[in-house]
Amino acid sequence: MSHDGPARRPVVVTPVQRRSRDVVARILEATGTLLNSGPGSTGITMQQVAGQAGVSVGSIYRYYADKSDLLRATQDDTLSRFDERMVARLAQAPPTVEGAVTAMAEVMYDHMKQRACEIGAFMTAGADDVMVGRARATHRVKLASFSGGLARDRDRVAHDSLDLAAEVGLSIIDGLFLGYARQITRSTPSLRLEVIAREARSAALAYLLSPPAGDWPATEAISASSPAAAAG
């Protein structure tokens, strides 16, 4: 899967033997567990990861140059597994608008129920081009699967452009769930995850099944605010 941003290998030494792969898996799982421990988890240390994984700090540095490399690798591992689950779930969904929206809302709900603090930590990790690019890659996979699901019930999508409808519909779902993840890194979210899942589904369906309510801004308003109109 191609990622936006500069290419960079997070692993210093590529694990080849089974034992090495097992160690890396334990390190990544330990990092994810610590990131999911609650607000403030972004301040985890290599020593904490080593203790959680049951390995030495030196073992971590054998595979990861620093904490940033470890976070990138953990994000990639988490999102790769999410991508697989999401694609499979959308492929199995009923061939209706409701089926596609429900499947996306459910897979996001399951993901956030298990990984909200971790996802929030990735989102607040700072301006890291590699991590931003990896998140964009997952968004492209989500959009392709969601658009494919909607295409199976194209006649009921009340918008001329399926691509635009899929992008906006997914943004509605993503916006609510990712807002929850961002909020949980700082405090207790204002809405329960179950409420967010329900409202995300309802809002996305309302948009996708309802025709646009006219042009906005109105053509007349655009003309009146143009430089030529102002000069006249």
Q: CA separation (Å) from 151 to 84, 156, 163?
A: 20, 9, 9
Residues of the chain with pLDDT under 50: 1-10, 221-223, 225-232
Helix, coil or strand: residue 79: helix
User: What superfamily in CATH does domain 72-209 come from?
Assistant: Tetracycline Repressor, domain 2 (1.10.357.10)
Distance from C-alpha of 116 to C-alpha of 181, rounded to nearest angstrom = 5
Taking CA 54 as the corner, what is the angle to CA 53 and CA 58, rounded to the nearest 5 degrees?
Answer: 90
Please tell me the predicted confidence (pLDDT) of residue 85: 97
Please tell me the predicted confidence (pLDDT) of residue 15: 59
- Dihedral (Cα; 182, 66, 44, 58), 10-degree rounding: 150
Please tell me the predicted confidence (pLDDT) of residue 12: 58
* pLDDT tens by residue, 160-216: 999 999 999 999 999 999 999 988 877 777 889 999 999 999 999 999 999 887 666
Helix, coil or strand: residue 64: strand
Phi then psi for residue 11, to 5 deg, are -95, 125
